[in-house]
Amino acid sequence: MGNPEERVTVSGQYQLPLERHQVWGRINDPSTLQQCIKGCDLVRRNADGSFEAIFRFRMGPFSRQITATMEVEPLSPPAHYQLRSILNSSRIGQASGHANVQLETRDRGTLLCYQAEIAVSGWFARLGSNFTRTAADRYMQGFFATFVALASSGDGEELR
């Protein structure tokens, strides 16, 4: 029967009342990332500059701990980078993706724009592209809304 794969693209933008270099610093900070990833227990930076995140994936009564690797490629600091991530679970499949994040100085702050392409296989893919797109969009919106609130607060306190 093969292993079905679904691909979806999501995008969005957020205005932050911070200078571009401040946003760049926060979006590359493991502590900030940990607070922005729903269900995240740990984000650590590896020696090679990549990140590893451990979080709990929940859907209804289903719950599973997952480890994801994230590689950041600074294309034009502090204006543009690409984030590639892979999460694997033998029971629920694989999700991988890349996001291009652009930071533009605008309106006394920084406009953060992102576009992400996500590919899923296994159990994730069996849910269908409409579900995958909706879930990916909600996840990305939640991540960036939390990031904007946290980065804009300026005091480093946890939001959850």
pLDDT digits (tens, 9 = 90+) for 71-121: 988 889 999 999 899 887 777 778 888 999 999 999 889 999 999 998 888
Helix, strand, coil percentages in the chain from 3-state DSSP, rounded to 5: 30, 50, 25
Q: How far apart are CA 137 and CA 159, in angstroms?
A: 21
**Rounded to the nearest 5 degrees, what angle is found at the Cα of 109, between the Cα atoms of 107 and 110?**
105
* Pair of tokens at residue 102: 């652009």
Identify the CA nearest to 66 among candidates 46, 36, 92, 44: 92
Q: Tell me the whole-structure pTM to 2 decimals.
A: 0.81
Q: Which domain holds residue 125?
A: 5-28+69-153
Does a structural domain hold residue 148? yes
Cis peptide before 78 (omega within 30 of 0): yes
Does a structural domain hold residue 53? no
Does a structural domain hold residue 129? yes
* Pair of tokens at residue 99: 């996001």
Q: Output the domain CATH number for residue 9.
A: 3.30.530.20
Which residues, 6 or more positions from 44, have their beta carbon under 8 angstroms from its beta carbon?
30, 51, 52
What integer is the mean pLDDT of 114-129? Answer: 82
Q: How many domains does the chain have?
A: 1
Does a structural domain hold residue 107? yes
Does a structural domain hold residue 62? no
Does a structural domain hold residue 36? no
**pLDDT at position 160, please?**
36
Does a structural domain hold residue 158? no
